[in-house]
Structure 1
Amino acid sequence: MTENQSIRNFCIIAHIDHGKSTLADRILDLCHTIPKQKMRDQVLDRMDLERERGITIKAKAVRLEYFSSQRNSSYVFNMIDTPGHADFSYEVSRSLAACEGAILVIDATQGVEAQTLAHTNIALAEGLAILPVINKIDLPSANPDRVCEEIENVLGPDHLPIALVSAKLGKGVEELLEKVIDFIPPPQGQAKKSLKALVFDSIYDSYRGVLPFIRIFEGLINKGIEIMIYSNKQKYQVIEIGIFNPDMKEIESLGPGEVGYISCNIKAIQDCRVGDTITLAINPTSQAVPGYKKAKPMVFCSFYPINAEGYEILKEALEKLQLNDASLMFEPDVSEALGFGFRCGFLGLLHMEIIQERIEREFDIEVVATAPHVVYHVLTKNGEIIEVKSPRDFPSAGEIEEAEEPIVEMKIITPSTAIGGVMDLCQSKRGVLQDMTYLDPNTVIIRYHLPMAEILFDFYNRLKSVSRGYASMDYEFFGYASSNLVKVDILVSKEKVDGLSFISHEENAARRSRELVTRLRKLIPRQMFTVSVQAAIGGKIIAREDVAALRKDVLAKCYGGDITRKRKLLEKQKEGKKRMKAVGKISLPQEAFLAVLQTEEQ
């Protein structure tokens, strides 16, 4: 247990690629946390996916011991390295709930970007001390003076002193740690009070069960004591207590302000959720740790195992991933074409992609994912409000009184030279301009209200294209708005494939249907009979393509001779094709389901 005054709890927040993980590496170096022979780049990014893509997916907590030569005293830093992408903003909010301060990293060449603003607003709402850091000052294109102006526009004139660092070279990092001691307040909390600890993350261990990662606000936690999960009143005995150094290291106890993990034989995954409060069984706290929001999924899609026996393995995989990623939601689902599976909710498309890849890599299950979609609200003519999470739940046109689609508030930060292209893109996606603010003469923040469904389709790539790579975006849920929506069914050989159905605004339905059936014609393998691919709204076919049949040359053996012999052979082949078509089953590849995503013009 450590004295409160010598503890500093902080996380590192930034836009993607602004150097959070590199700065975390240099701080670990300065605190001599990891032996030099074991040190590597992005040392806290443990997943292969994180290292391959060069992004942080999971927030990582680590305990550091820092000796300040200026003060001639030692300090304990509990540092959390957080993701930068918008799809993992829930990881950031969880990290901020466990801290008193945040290091806000801004690239000296890029300046303030969309996620910089988003993370800053979350940190300000939590009441955290924000320490601005301008990184990459060693680069020839760095412009710290311009970035300082942008920081003042975001944080106001009375912000904390700005630190200038080069995380790659280690320049200015020691001065930054001294500023952390000066400006990030030590945790408040008394050891004599009843235990109150926040579960900010957790993992599943095959031998020890669920291991909650906790931040203690009040009281002490020791080995052998009986604790209680506040939400469900379940009681457990603490077997092991530890800290992250950065690997798990067992210690005797944790006190106010400290961060660590506990092992107490929690076998059921659902018994200890992220955001829960842990307290003592004999003297529980009167109220839970406040202000912890539940994640709200923005994008839904269904996962189905390739083989029926993979259903239980997929269920177990999703439960374990949900324990580690509280923003993942799932429920059982069934499809006529794909069998039993799970409908899953995600914060965005990258989040969905990462979860699918983690299922396939970590649990060795091959899954088919349906096209992603958002949740619509439909008011039926008998006054019932339906929450439509899947296109097949969408009622027929005759039953609908009004349909609503989710709207997001999109903030786009772009160079002023690209304003025209960005606005044209947003208008083409049915966006409504809210306002425009200049950060400086060359940089502008444009705020739009856009349908969530429209930004699923290649919006980010096209934004980068029209701004030559300089624009950045961030969005948050705004509300629901009335819209003229229709459900488009896809029929393959006149059989409805519910995994390919989609809901669209009426004015876009015909164009998207034509593009989709054209793509499917190229993706569906050719059979020994003609396969028709149709798009229909209700009973009306609005688009059709045919996948040509593979044909055996039955006339090859006929050289010369009477034409009636050739006709007889062709008629026989035709009859065979008809019989084959009646019993033939079409096997759709995974790419066919992803084709729904790519129905926008490139």
Structure 2
Amino acid sequence: MTDRSHIRNFSIIAHIDHGKSTLADRLIQYTGGLTEREMSEQVLDNMDIERERGITIKAQTVRLKYTAKDGETYELNLMDTPGHVDFAYEVSRSLAACEGALLVVDAAQGVEAQTLANVYQSIEHDHEILPVLNKIDLPAAEPERVRNEIEEIIGLDASDAVMASAKSGIGIQDILEQVVEKIPAPGGDRDAPLKAMLVDSWYDPYLGVVILVRVIDGVLTKGQRIKFMAQGTEHLVDRVGCMRPKIEQLPELAAGEIGFITAQIKEVSQTAVGDTITTVKDGAAEALPGFKEVQSVVFCGLFPVDAADFEKLRESISKLRLNDASFTFEMETSAALGQGFRCGFLGLLHLEIIQERLTREYDLDLITTAPSVVYRMVMNDGSEQFLHNPADMPDVVKIADIEEPWIEATIYCPDEYLGGILKLCQDRRGVQKNLTYVGDRAQVVYELPLNEVVFDFYDRLKSISRGYASFDYHQIGLRSGDLVKMNILVNGDPVDALSMIVHRAAAESRGRHMCERLKDLIPRHLFKIPVQAAIGGKVIARETIAAMRKDVTAKCYGGDISRKKKLLDKQKKGKAKMREYGNVSIPQEAFIAALKMGDEA
């Protein structure tokens, strides 16, 4: 058992792609956690998609042994946290399990939006924060400028920031020495009733659900009956251990330590991140603060391109749910797209990851409907309803008010792109709150409706700024808005998969854009097809798909003109009848293209 004064719990926080996972690799390698042969790039990122995109999706932990220059051996618990805003709650729980953090900043790129968001969370937890300037061996690196940025923007003293290059292995020992010297040892009372925080969990096909825990007080041992205080469930601990990064079983986890337990739990959904674990007998009286239920923010429909794949999709989604409790789904039937699922996600990146995993790991072809957010509707009788799917919106006459979620967004960009970014935010109904400069970089703070951001805001931001802008946001609650449901009608019939909720001011341009897209995508029939965008009974945009022309007079040679007129009249009547009873078949490709492009109004 390690003496508590020799334990150091710390996490690495950084913006996406600033070298967080590579630094974790070097620390593992330097302390002998893995041999050269066992080592792989981004060893803590165990999903292919994490390695390809250079992002961390699941928080991982590893226990390292390090003998410092003072001759003492220390136990270092390293947390590699996700960097993306979608996983902000998971990051907050990982940070709550630590006493300090390494702030990794790219010496070429400088401080970016998510660096700030995560640093502020770390400051809230009273962490000792150690700045690390990474990638100093790059030709574009400007360590002095970045050091000043850290001091000016964040207000941290960066005079003794470690100069490092995770790729080349420069400065790794200096980082470890600073961790040992500056990060405080964990507190806690070994003899108090058990109190442990559930930091994260994942599904293992052999062990069941593996739960990552930080023991605050007391001792966790094999054979204990434990209770999850928020869920109210009881379990028997059958394995206690830590990751080095290979699994190693231990007799116990005492106050101040981070490790894992298994308790024959079959579903990740039973283990809520941030929950407090205590013993059934003589347990803790109060749960740890900071727990909250994870809420889905963005919703969209997932439908198989081939209707025969529906069962395969159901099975695949259920398997994914085993490993990701923040992803929710329920069955949905669409007249246009057949059977599918309405799914809830933490944000757009989460949606993209789930969609890509379904396509890759389960070999599915999917149609994704346009993403939407959750609206709160106050009805005339005073009751409230939450709307996840625009197609389910009740009659407008019954609704007194509709509220939509708003966010506060922080955008960092070089000065030259500021004009285009301000225009983009204004077009998306943004309210400017702040604009400050650090050197030649601007920091803009905007309040924006989430509905406008879930479409293509991030892509547009990146294209306007040529990839130099960084973007971070957090939710600030619901606000009332003049929102309407816009239906798309093809030949007079509403297409439920294309209906969306928009602000009244933007409805016309969005509707016109959608109609123009569909006009190009729907093949011509033997009769005219009107494509309309409508709010209630009022049509706000229309395009007409011309009929395919069949020359009925081709075989009519010579004779009186009345013969030709008679044939043309007969054709006219036939076309009118056809328009009345004819069905318009919209090919799947048209749906996919319309749903992909429908958000670029």
One fold, TM greater than 0.5?
Answer: yes
CA distance in 2, matches of 1:553, 1:257: 85
Superposed CA deviations along residues 369-416 of structure 1, whole A, max 9, x for unmatched, are: 221112223333333333322212334443343333222111112223
Alignment of 1:541-560 (within 5 A): 541-547=539-545, 558=555
Alignment of 1:124-139 (within 5 A): 124-139=123-138
CA distance in 2, matches of 1:468, 1:521: 32
User: Would the aligned equivalents of 2:295 and 2:346 in 1 still touch at CA under 8 Å?
Assistant: yes
Superposed CA deviations along residues 228-257 of structure 1, whole A, max 9, x for unmatched, are: 222344332222223222233333322222
CA distance in 2, matches of 1:160, 1:233: 48
Distance 1:98 1:525, change over 3 A: farther
User: Is 2:39 the partner of 1:39?
Assistant: yes
Distance 1:597 1:216, change over 3 A: same
CA distance in 1, matches of 2:296, 2:375: 13
User: Is 2:246 the partner of 1:247?
Assistant: yes
Query: Which of 507, 510, 525 is the equivalent residue of 1:509?
Result: 507
CA distance in 1, matches of 2:269, 2:297: 22
CA distance in 1, matches of 2:413, 2:444: 8
Query: Which of 498, 501, 523 is the equivalent residue of 1:500?
Result: 498
**Helix, strand or coil at the partner of 2:169:** coil
**Larger CA deviation: 312-321 vs 169-178:** 312-321
CA distance in 2, matches of 1:344, 1:601: 22
**Helix, strand or coil at the partner of 2:110:** coil
**Larger CA deviation: 76-85 vs 570-579:** 570-579
CA distance in 2, matches of 1:351, 1:516: 26
**Helix, strand or coil at the partner of 1:357:** helix
Report the residue type matching 2:92 in the other structure: S
User: Would the aligned equivalents of 1:464 and 1:470 in 2 still touch at CA under 8 Å?
Assistant: yes
Distance 1:274 1:454, change over 3 A: same
CA distance in 2, matches of 1:52, 1:157: 33
Alignment of 1:433-512 (within 5 A): 433-438=432-437, 440-512=438-510
**Larger CA deviation: 187-196 vs 563-572:** 563-572
Q: Say what the alpha-carbon RMSD is for the aligned residues.
A: 3.2
**Larger CA deviation: 159-168 vs 568-577:** 568-577
CA distance in 1, matches of 2:159, 2:284: 35
User: Is 2:537 the partner of 1:539?
Assistant: yes
CA distance in 2, matches of 1:65, 1:533: 67
**Helix, strand or coil at the partner of 1:469:** coil
2:588 maps to 589
User: Would the aligned equivalents of 1:90 and 1:327 in 2 still touch at CA under 8 Å?
Assistant: no
CA apart distance, 1:332: 4.7
**Larger CA deviation: 118-127 vs 427-436:** 427-436
CA distance in 2, matches of 1:396, 1:240: 55
2:16 maps to 16
CA distance in 1, matches of 2:56, 2:423: 32
CA distance in 2, matches of 1:230, 1:310: 40
CA distance in 2, matches of 1:194, 1:365: 49
CA apart distance, 1:345: 2.7
CA distance in 1, matches of 2:267, 2:149: 48
**Helix, strand or coil at the partner of 2:37:** helix
1:407 maps to 406
User: Is 2:404 the partner of 1:429?
Assistant: no
Gaps of 5+ in 1: none
TM-score, length of structure 1 as denominator length: 0.89
CA apart distance, 1:311: 6.2
Distance 1:367 1:199, change over 3 A: farther
Distance 1:147 1:160, change over 3 A: closer
Distance 1:179 1:497, change over 3 A: same
Report the residue type matching 2:498 in the other structure: L
2:145 maps to 146
CA distance in 1, matches of 2:477, 2:126: 26
Alignment of 1:120-519 (within 5 A): 120-156=119-155, 161-305=160-304, 314=313, 317-318=316-317, 321-322=320-321, 324-339=323-338, 341-438=340-437, 440-519=438-517
CA apart distance, 1:281: 2.2
**Larger CA deviation: 521-530 vs 140-149:** 521-530
Gaps of 5+ in 2: none
Distance 1:447 1:591, change over 3 A: farther
User: Is 2:58 the partner of 1:52?
Assistant: no
**Helix, strand or coil at the partner of 2:372:** coil
User: Would the aligned equivalents of 1:499 and 1:593 in 2 still touch at CA under 8 Å?
Assistant: no
**Larger CA deviation: 249-258 vs 303-312:** 303-312
Superposed CA deviations along residues 344-389 of structure 1, whole A, max 9, x for unmatched, are: 3323222211112223334455543221112223333333333322
1:30 maps to 30
CA distance in 2, matches of 1:315, 1:345: 15
**Larger CA deviation: 406-415 vs 523-532:** 523-532
**Larger CA deviation: 76-85 vs 158-167:** 158-167
CA apart distance, 1:119: 0.6
Distance 1:428 1:569, change over 3 A: closer
CA distance in 2, matches of 1:4, 1:314: 49
User: Would the aligned equivalents of 2:268 and 2:323 in 1 still touch at CA under 8 Å?
Assistant: no
CA distance in 2, matches of 1:404, 1:235: 39
Report the residue type matching 1:373 in the other structure: S
1:64 maps to 64
Report the residue type matching 2:180 in the other structure: I
CA distance in 2, matches of 1:204, 1:525: 47
1:523 maps to 521
User: Would the aligned equivalents of 1:216 and 1:254 in 2 still touch at CA under 8 Å?
Assistant: yes
User: Would the aligned equivalents of 2:528 and 2:579 in 1 still touch at CA under 8 Å?
Assistant: no
User: Would the aligned equivalents of 1:369 and 1:590 in 2 still touch at CA under 8 Å?
Assistant: no
**Helix, strand or coil at the partner of 1:448:** strand
CA distance in 2, matches of 1:454, 1:502: 12
Tell me how many residue pairs correspond in the alignment.
Answer: 599
Distance 1:421 1:580, change over 3 A: closer
CA apart distance, 1:180: 0.7
**Larger CA deviation: 528-537 vs 424-433:** 528-537
CA distance in 2, matches of 1:315, 1:458: 28
User: Would the aligned equivalents of 2:553 and 2:567 in 1 still touch at CA under 8 Å?
Assistant: no
Distance 1:340 1:413, change over 3 A: same
CA apart distance, 1:515: 0.7
Identity among equivalent positions (%) equals 47
CA apart distance, 1:323: 5.3
User: Would the aligned equivalents of 1:202 and 1:323 in 2 still touch at CA under 8 Å?
Assistant: no
Superposed CA deviations along residues 123-154 of structure 1, whole A, max 9, x for unmatched, are: 11122221111111111221111111111123
